[in-house]
């Protein structure tokens, strides 16, 4: 049987990571790419990795006509434009079997609703890419604790965090293009993880009903004069004018629709985590049992002394968002697998082959966008957001956070020079 042909829109950081992940996926190949920049480099990488010929196409539509499924791996601000082009290509006869979109689905609830609508208008299956729910460690703890959960009751407190020292490209830092700061960028992962960890075994991912959201945002490092200057010089984004949060934390309260039990998920995200590199930390506490995961506790470490430091040219080769190239370094030998990219790609390919949505679909992405935006609203209005209140839900549909509007100065601390 011939390979399932994937086409990527975007050829940056995540596209390269997913190309590596494809090495672990059976029956699929990277057949093509369209991007504003980096297509040739991705094509070369795909050939080098042996994951496909990855032809370079000159438009989204041309790509869609030559692949089985298309994945949106472009920046958040380009989602709607790309999704519209995919829908037009399908109308014009492109025989796609599925559409993938990276997190976050939308920068606002309104945008996410629009993306769901356009995607469904094509009649095709879709998959929302939230890799952390596909992590083997997260799946393994669920399986390991299944019988104890059945006897003792579900996990009642989940905590999930993703932190690193800050994104690699300027557009992530610009709240008006990205949709916010670290909460929009990584809060979506941690909120989704909390919800999933708390969900009783065998129940759908949206089984527990989110009832309230309470959150805070902060600007703890990148608003200080020295770091603002550093950021401006690197990216052209000026946090004295349009700051975004580099820290966010919150609690989402969920209710079990059958038993009425109240459970809580606490998320924490930062772009000021100046340690070895990206750290994912998750834990879950049930009555009489628990689990804990920390991605920086690798069984592999390397040591590079000062005189040998030149030997590592590319810090990212040790760990995603590495901050050091010498000393005692933590190495994750297969990050694409560790973070769930291999399993999410496998799930999408297998689901699309059967004509089904992936494990997580765009409607799920919309629910996560709602929870992220409710978190911004809570931080802005300094109050607990009640998701059972119809007026609040209506307000959320048209809500654009002050930070995303470029008015972050109204709620974030900026020390003048
Ligand atoms: N799941 C994860 O862990 C994870 C990690 C990183 C990024 N992401 C998500 O993936 C998406 C891309 O992020 P990235 O880090 O790869 O960004 P990036 O800036 O590194 O790469 C973006 C790519 O998209 C291309 N592009 C920009 N505008 C385009 C357009 N209109 N049409 C076609 N191509 C266009 C760029 O030329 C570039 O090749 C974002 O939505 C981000 O949130 C997810």
Q: Using one digit for the tens of pLDDT, what is the confidence trace for 325-380?
A: 788 888 899 999 999 999 999 999 999 999 999 999 999 999 999 999 999 999 99
Q: Tokens 């009832």 appear where?
A: 211
From the list 123, 54, 56, 135, the residue with the least C-alpha distance to 94 is 123
Q: Is there an atom of ligand 1 within 6 Å of 130 CB? A: no
pLDDT of 116 reads 98
> Is any ligand 1 atom within 6 A of the Cβ of residue 169?
yes
Q: Name the token pair of 70.
A: 């298309």
49 C-alpha to center of ligand 1: Å? 20
Pocket lining: 180 vs ligand 1, CB cutoff 6 Å: no
Residue 77 Cα, ligand 1 centroid: separation in angstroms? 10
CB 112 within 8 A of CB 120: no
Instruction: Find the length of the chain.
Output: 417
Residue 80 structure tokens:
């709607």
User: Is the beta carbon of 75 within 6 A of some atom in ligand 1?
Assistant: yes
State whether the beta carbon of 167 lies less than 6 angstroms from ligand 1: no
Give the separation between CA 29 and CA 105, rounded to whole angstroms.
24
| DSSP helix/strand/coil, 216 | strand
Choose the residue to mutate in 37, 64, 73, 133 for probing ligand 1, maximizing ligand atoms within 8 Å of C-beta: 73
The residue among 178, 346, 190 whose CA lies nearest residue 266 is 190
Cα separation, 18 vs 337, in Å, equals 10
Q: Work out whether strand 247-255 and strand 262-270 pair parallel, antiparallel, or are unpaired.
A: antiparallel
Question: What are the CA-CA distances from residue 319 to residues 24, 134, 323, 379 (Å)?
Answer: 19, 19, 9, 32
Longest dimension (CA), the chain: 64
Q: Is the CB of 36 under 6 A from ligand 1?
A: yes
Helix (H) or strand (E) holding 81: helix 79-91
Helix then strand count (H, E) for the chain reads 16, 15
Query: In terms of Cα–Cα distance, which of 380, 126, 387 is closest to 245?
Result: 380
Per DSSP, 330 falls in state E
Mean pLDDT within 11-24: 98
| Averaged pLDDT for residues 172-199 | 98
- Please give the average per-residue pLDDT across 162-181, as a whole number: 98
Chain center to CA of 11: 17
Mean pLDDT along residues 84-109: 98
Quick one: 227 exposed, middle or buried, by C-beta within 10 A (0-12, 13-18, 19+)?
middle
If you average pLDDT over residues 88-109, what whole number do you get? 98
- Supply the pLDDT for residue 311: 62
Domains and CATH numbers, the chain: 4-132+341-360 (3.40.50.720), 136-333+370-410 (3.30.360.10)
Would you say 15 and 168 are in contact if contact means Cβ atoms under 8 Å apart?
A: no
How many Å lie between the centroid of ligand 1 and the Cα of residue 157?
33
User: Cα(379)–Cα(114) distance, rounded to whole angstroms?
Assistant: 25
Give the residue-averaged pLDDT of 14-20. Answer: 98
pLDDT of residue 59: 98
Q: For residue 78, report the distance from its CA to the centre of ligand 1, in Å.
A: 9
Indicate whether residue 103 lines ligand 1 (CB < 6 A).
yes
């Amino acid at each position: 049987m011939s390979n399932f042909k994937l086409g990527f829109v975007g050829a940056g950081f995540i596209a390269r990571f997913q190309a590596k992940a494809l090495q672990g996926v059976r029956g699929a190949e990277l057949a093509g790419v369209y991007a504003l920049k980096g297509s040739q480099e991705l094509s070369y990488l795909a050939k080098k990795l042996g994951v496909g010929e990855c032809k370079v196409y000159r438009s989204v539509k041309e790509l869609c006509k030559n692949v089985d499924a298309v994945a949106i791996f472009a920046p958040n601000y380009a989602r709607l434009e790309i999704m519209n082009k995919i829908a037009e290509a399908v109308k014009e006869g492109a025989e796609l079997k599925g559409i993938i979109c990276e997190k976050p689905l939308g920068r606002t609830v309104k945008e996410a609703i629009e993306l769901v609508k356009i995607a469904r208008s094509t009649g095709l299956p879709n998959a929302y890419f939230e890799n952390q729910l596909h992590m083997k460690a997260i799946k393994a703890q669920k399986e390991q604790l299944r019988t104890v959960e059945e006897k003792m009751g579900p996990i009642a407190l989940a905590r999930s965090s993703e932190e690193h020292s800050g994104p690699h490209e300027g557009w992530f830092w610009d709240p008006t293009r990205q949709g916010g700061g670290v909460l929009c960028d990584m809060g979506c992962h941690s909120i989704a993880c909390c919800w999933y960890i708390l969900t009783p075994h065998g129940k759908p991912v949206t089984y527990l009903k989110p009832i309230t959201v309470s959150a805070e945002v902060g600007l703890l490092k990148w608003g200080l004069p020295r770091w603002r200057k550093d950021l401006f010089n690197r990216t052209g984004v000026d946090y004295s004018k349009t700051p975004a949060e580099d820290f966010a934390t919150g609690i989402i309260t969920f209710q079990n629709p059958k038993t009425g039990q109240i459970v809580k998920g606490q998320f924490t995200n930062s772009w000021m985590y100046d340690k070895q590199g990206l750290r994912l930390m998750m834990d879950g506490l049930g009555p009489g049992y628990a689990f804990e995961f920390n991605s920086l506790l690798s069984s592999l470490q390397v040591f590079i002394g000062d005189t040998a430091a030149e030997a590592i040219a590319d810090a990212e080769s040790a760990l995603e968002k590495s901050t050091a190239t010498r000393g005692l370094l933590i190495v994750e030998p297969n990050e694409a697998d560790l973070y769930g990219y291999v399993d999410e790609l496998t799930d999408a390919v297998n689901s699309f082959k059967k004509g089904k949505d992936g494990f997580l679909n765009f409607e799920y992405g919309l629910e996560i966008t709602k929870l992220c935006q409710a978190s911004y609203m809570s931080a802005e209005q300094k109050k607990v957001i009640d998701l059972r209140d119809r007026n609040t839900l209506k307000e959320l549909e048209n809500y654009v956070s002050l930070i995303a509007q470029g008015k972050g100065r109204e709620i974030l601390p900026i020390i003048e020079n």
